Amino acid sequence: MGEEIESILAAVTFLKGMALGKTSPRRGRWRGCLEPLFKRPYWGTTWIVQEIVLATDIYIVSGSRSRSFSWKILQKAIDCYVPDARDTREMEVVAQLVHIRRSFGKS
């Protein structure tokens, strides 16, 4: 997903907390924590849709292993996501990737 940046650690921690039900998915906090992750150029590449739809297991890595997470964690967090008019296009793109993968029968 690219080189390591410090804001990604907060985003990954937030995602994992949401997936485990330990972090509240409040809108303002959601946007503040995850926007740096979702604005990475990785999500806007053409091939990423193909990679996400066709892969059996997905593990997303940004820099070091401590800033990595499985697709299942991202999917659980997106399931808590409530779209807001102030959300960025990038946040919507990631939510759509989860939807596309599900439409192909992948979880």
26-62, pLDDT tens digit by residue?
656 676 777 778 888 877 788 888 888 888 888 888 7
Tokens of 81: 């996501």
Tokens of 101: 């993968």
Q: Which tops the pLDDT comparison, 23 or 4?
A: 23
pLDDT, tens digit, for every residue of 58-94? 888 876 666 678 888 888 877 776 666 666 677 778 8
Contacts of 95 (CB under 8 A, 6+ apart): 78, 81, 83
User: What pTM did the predictor assign?
Assistant: 0.73
Do residues 58 and 5 make contact, with C-beta atoms less than 8 angstroms apart?
Answer: no
